[in-house]
Amino acid sequence: MWGWPLVHVAFSGDSTGQALARGVIAIGDVAIGLVAIGGFAFGGVTIAGIGAGVFSLGGLSAALIMAMGGIAFGGVLAVGAVAFGGFALGSVAIDLVAAAGAAQETLLDVPAQTISVLRFRAWALATAVVTAAVAAVILRLRNDSSKRVD
């Protein structure tokens, strides 16, 4: 897929000296892939210290659909000590529609019938932003790899 290997593992201490892992399944200090695991991860499903993706789990997580972590930014759902999202659950929860937690704040006070429209619009905007970001990263990586002479 995209000219990447199925599994790529790369750490800064390996013989190549490169810390960037790119693959369908990427594992490394910095990982980019459909499933990305590492210190920093970007992809579909991420497990990382700092991660961004469609589903993200980590210390600092940002996700289109669901983020879980110490600090979580989720397009639809955020779960964490500090959570921001469409729906947020955490010690400190700030969201658009319905927060649950010790300190909770709902930013919008809207009628129930309007909530579904707002959910869809928030999801559509988040989808457009994440799609553009993923496309930019893929194009950048493809350009970088095509310039490299092995």
Write down the pLDDT at residue 47: 92
Residue pair 69/59 in contact by the 8 Å Cβ criterion: yes
pLDDT digits (tens, 9 = 90+) for 80-100: 888 888 777 877 777 766 555
Write down the pLDDT at residue 13: 66
Instruction: Read off the pTM.
Output: 0.64
* Residue ranges of the chain with per-residue pLDDT less than 70: 1-2, 13-18, 96-127, 129-130, 141-150
| 87, HSE (Cβ side, Cα atoms, 13 Å) | 8
User: What stretches of the chain show up as alpha helix (H) in DSSP?
Assistant: 112-147
pLDDT digits (tens, 9 = 90+) for 62-79: 998 889 888 998 888 888
